[in-house]
Each structure stands twice: as C-alpha cells, then as structure tokens.
Structure 1
Amino acid sequence: MATTVALIRHGVTVWNNLGKAQGVSDIPFNEEEGIKQATALANRLSGEEWDIIFSSNLTRARQTAEIIRQSLGVDSVFIDERIREINCGLIEGTTEEERIDRWGS
C-alpha cells in the first residue's frame, strides 16, 4: 500500500499581502483570508483519509493545520520546529523595494 504525503503551505499573512519576507518571524495568518484558505483546503481534503498532521511551530502554520485537523477529524497536530521556514536574517519584515534601497539590486 502506498503512502500519500501532502505538503501544505500556511494561509496568507498580512506580511504576504504586503510583500514582506517572513522567514522565522512568527506572523499569524490574516484572520479573514487565512481562515478562508485553510477552510477551503480542508473542504477539498474532506472525504479522504488522513492519519497524521505535522506542522512547524510558527503560528501561521499551526493555525492552518488546526483548521484542517478539526475538519478531517485527525486526533492531533504534531509540532516540529525543524520544518519551519528558514531564518532570513536582516531581510525579514522588508519588502523587495526596501531591500534594494538598503543593499542595492
């Protein structure tokens, strides 16, 4: 029997909408749009059997995973910081325009 693995990106954040780099900055998802996206994905996955959900420890990923978990009836979400986004250092919280202004193209 084959194992199915799905990789799911978190719901959109305010920083996503502003074009800001996030990395490990713990920005929650946009309450309206992020919930809508996570719910739509949960609805798309309904009717399929999922055994386990893993999430990074960042709030936006945990929020997304929890909405999906509840919808699918999975017992819990396993949190693991090793699967979070990379640390983007000084660029976190900046837009591309701001990065070019500071450091050039």
Structure 2
Amino acid sequence: GWVSLRPLLDTSVLPPPVTYPDTPQCVNVTVVSNSRCQEVYGSKVTENMLCAGVAAGGKDSCQGDSGGPLICNGVLQGIVSWGDHPCGQAGKPGVYSLVFNYLDWIQETMAEN
C-alpha cells in the first residue's frame, strides 16, 4: 500500500539561515592570559595559543573567521583558530594560534619555496 512520507525533521524549530557580511569586519578584543584561558577551556589551550575576547561578551571571532588575523599595533599576533559555541559568550574568549611560536617554521618554509 501507499504510505505518507512526512519530513523526519521539524523545520519549524530550525534557526534562520546564517548570513555573512560581504566586507571584512573588525572588532577590538583584549588578550587574556593563558592561565585564565585554561580555567575556561582546560588543557586544550597550549603554549602555542593565545586567547582574546570581550569580557562582557557580545563580540568575538566566530564561525567563518578561522584563519583570519589577530593584529596588535599593526603586527600579526594570532590566527583565528577556535572558541566556544555560540561565539561571543561572556567570559569565553576566542582562541588563536600564536604566530610568534611559528616564526622559525614560517621563515624556513618561505625560504624553501
């Protein structure tokens, strides 16, 4: 016989589609000590990372920003890596790769190529 095929997912409870801006965005964040960041994220935060955010929340790097720059006084200090979800939560900074710790590798790789 025939059966009724109903959606397996109730689409009425899905969030609206995510939209991204067409132009680069900028936000001022404050660097957080690694010890403070480890209080939030534990041992996932290593010496090759730095954390930055806005203590009150509401501003942060987010999905789609990975690989983007963290610049301080015109110098690339970090590369957007990861953070909590949803992003921008109070007391939960974004996590960045600490560029300084990779300078030797960057210079060697650039010299070879």
TM-score by length of 2: 0.24
Structure with the largest fraction of strand:
2
Q: Tell which has more relative contact order, 1 or 2 (C-alpha 8 A, sep 6+).
A: 1
Task: Answer with 1 or 2: which has the greater Rg.
Answer: 2
